[in-house]
A = this chain, B = another copy of it.
């Protein structure tokens, strides 16, 4: 009668600090979801361990996995592939555990199509809310600078459309706390809890 786990997807604009937040989440002892390790064709950097930081693969291996549809999402950056192996994700979710992905926005779009019920969290740069102060206290910065920032903000707002939640990365500890709260809350959603009880009553008949 065990429920399937939740697929938690953390994404956001590049440079927002997704990796740092993800590492902070998994450095805490009470984190009870599983991190899905990405696969890449880039060479390991010093200190990086295969199966811990990434699964390191050759280009041929990676392309063969793409053709076998063994990747939940993938993308090419600066000549290297990055992707999420799908089997691990499906097996872990089936076992009732939550799976956590930290991926780029393009990847998140691919995952949304395959897992519409996933929990999609957008990590937003603090510049977005700092913009508010800048707008209010105009004069300290040039109109051009403010206008550029507003254009950027508009693009980020557009990106958010795919997501269920937006977490501002103002302070890492706060971002971590919010992400963990979102996961706890999501497990308490009525449809989810009620569904479990209904299955339980069916089983008891």
* Contact segment of A95-103, A108-116, A174-182: A174-182
* Contact segment of A12-20, A78-86, A194-202: A194-202
Q: Of B160, B163, B185, which one neighbours A186 at CB under 8 angstroms?
A: B185
A16, chain B: closest CB distance, angstroms: 14
Q: Which residue, A184, A185, A186, has most C-beta atoms of chain B within 10 A? A: A185
Question: Does A189 touch B at the CB level, under 8 Å?
Answer: yes
Chain B residues whose C-beta falls within 8 Å of the C-beta of A150 in the assembled complex: 201, 204
Question: Does A157 touch B at the CB level, under 8 Å?
Answer: yes
Contact B190 A157 (CB under 8 A): no
Specify how many copies of this chain sit in the oligomer.
Answer: 2
Contact A190 B160 (CB under 8 A): yes
> How far is B182's CA from A193's CA once the two chains are assembled, in angstroms?
14
Contact A190 B132 (CB under 8 A): no
A29, chain B: closest CB distance, angstroms: 16
Chain A, interface residues (CB within 8 Å), range: 35 or more
Beta-carbon contacts under 8 Å, A137-171 to B: 146, 150, 153-154, 157, 160-161, 163-168
> How far is B135's CA from A16's CA once the two chains are assembled, in angstroms?
49
> How far is B192's CA from A182's CA once the two chains are assembled, in angstroms?
14
Chain B residues whose C-beta falls within 8 Å of the C-beta of A1 in the assembled complex: 132
Question: Does A74 touch B at the CB level, under 8 Å?
Answer: no
Contact B178 A163 (CB under 8 A): no
**Considering only CB atoms, which chain B residue lies closest to A186 in the complex?**
B185
Question: Does A56 touch B at the CB level, under 8 Å?
Answer: no
Known: A132-B1, A181-B181, A193-B124. A154 touches B188 (CB 8 A): no
Residues in A lying within 8 Å of B, measured CB to CB: 1, 121-122, 124, 128-129, 131-132, 135, 146, 150, 153-154, 157, 160-161, 163-168, 177-178, 180-182, 184-186, 188-190, 193-194, 197-198, 200-201, 203-204
